[in-house]
Amino acid sequence: MRREWFWLQQALPQVLCYHSPMLRLTIITLSLAASAALAGPVAPPGDIGLRHDIQVLADYGVITGTVTTWPMSWDSIATDLQAATDNKIILPVAVDQTMQRLLARAISETERGKPRMNSRISAAEEPTRIRSFTDTPREDGELSFGFSWAGEHVSLDLNATGTYDPVDEQEARADGSRIALDMGNVTLAVSTLDRWWGPGWDGSLILSNNARPIPAITLGRNRTQAFKSKWLSWIGPWDLEVILGQMEEDRFVPNTRFFGMRFAFRPVNSLEIGISRSAQWCGDGRPCDFDTFSDLFLGKDNRGDAGTTPENEPGNQLAGFDMRWSNMWFGQPSAFYAQAIGEDEAGGFPSRYLGQLGIETSGYFRNRWSYRWYAELAGTSCDFVKDDRFNCAYNHDIYATGYRYRSRVVGHGAENDSRIVSTGIVLVSTEATQWHVLLRFGDLNRGGGPDVRNTLTPTLLEVSSIDLTHSRALGRGRLEIGVGYEQIENPLTSESDNDARGFISWRSR
Phi, psi of 98 (to 5 degrees): -60, -45
Residue 405's identity, in one-letter code, is: Y
CB 363 within 8 A of CB 332: yes
Q: By C-alpha distance, which of 306, 309, 358 is closest to 336? A: 358
Note whether 193 and 174 are within 8 A (CB): no
Q: What is the mean pLDDT of residues 112-140?
A: 94
Answer whether the bond into residue 13 is a cis peptide, omega within 30°: no
The answer to whether residues 205 and 413 touch, using CB atoms and an 8 Å cutoff, is no
Residue 61's nearest CA partner among 271, 241, 308, 205 is: 271
63-74 pLDDT tens trace: 999 999 999 999
- Reduce the secondary structure of 219-267 to three states and give it as a string: EEECCCCCCCCCCCHHHCCEEEEEEEEECCCCCCCCCCEEEEEEEEEEE
494 contacts: CB under 8 Å, gap ≥ 6: none
Calpha distance 12→321 (Å, rounded) = 29
CATH number at residue 465: 2.40.160.130
User: Helix, strand or coil for residue 101?
Assistant: helix
Q: What is the mean pLDDT of residues 428-454?
A: 90
Q: How confident is the model at residue 360 (pLDDT cuts 50, 70, 90)?
A: very high
Of the candidate ranges 54-63, 288-297, 321-330, the one whose mean pLDDT is the lowest: 288-297
The 3-class SS string of 130-176 reads CCCCCCCCCCCEEEEEEEEEECCCEEEEEEEEEEECCCCCCCEECCC
The average pLDDT across 13-40 equals 39
If one counts the domains in the chain, the total is 1
pLDDT reported for residue 297: 87
Model confidence pLDDT, tens digit, residues 151-202: 989 999 999 999 999 989 999 999 999 999 998 899 999 999 999 999 999 9
Distant-in-sequence, close-in-space partners of 505: CB < 8 Å, separation ≥ 6:
120, 121, 122, 123, 137, 479, 480, 481
| 269-282 residue pLDDT tens | 999 999 999 999 99
Model confidence band, residue 33 (pLDDT cutoffs 50, 70, 90): very low
Q: pLDDT confidence of 305, banded at 50, 70, 90?
A: low
- Residue 38, domain extent: 2-508
Residue-wise burial string across 86-124, b where 16 or more C-beta atoms lie within 10 A, e elsewhere: eeeeebeebbbbbbebbbebbeebbeeeeebebebbbbb
Q: Could you tell me which residue, 451 or 268, shows the higher pLDDT?
A: 268
Give the integer Cα–Cα distance in Å for 165 and 148: 28
C-alpha count within 13 angstroms, C-beta hemisphere, residue 66? 34
Compute the distance between CA of residue 423 and CA of residue 465 in angstroms, rounded to an integer. Answer: 11
Is residue 59 within 8 A of residue 362, CB to CB? The reply is: yes
The CA-based dihedral angle spanning residues 27, 32, 35, 36, taken in that order and rounded to the nearest 10 degrees: 50
Task: Kindly tell me the sign of the dihedral angle through the C-alpha atoms of 251, 253, 257, 260.
Answer: negative
367 pLDDT exceeds 70? yes
| C-alpha to C-alpha distance for 484 and 203, rounded to whole angstroms | 18
Place 462 in a pLDDT band, splitting at 50, 70 and 90.
very high
pLDDT at 451: 63
| pLDDT-based confidence at residue 24 (cuts at 50, 70, 90) | very low
In the chain, the largest separation of any two C-alpha atoms, in whole Å, equals: 66
Residue 428: name the closest of 132, 137, 55, 48 by CA: 48
- CA separation for the pair 227, 51 (Å, rounded): 26
HSE-CB for 350 with a 13 A CA cutoff: 25
CA distance 320 to 341: 4
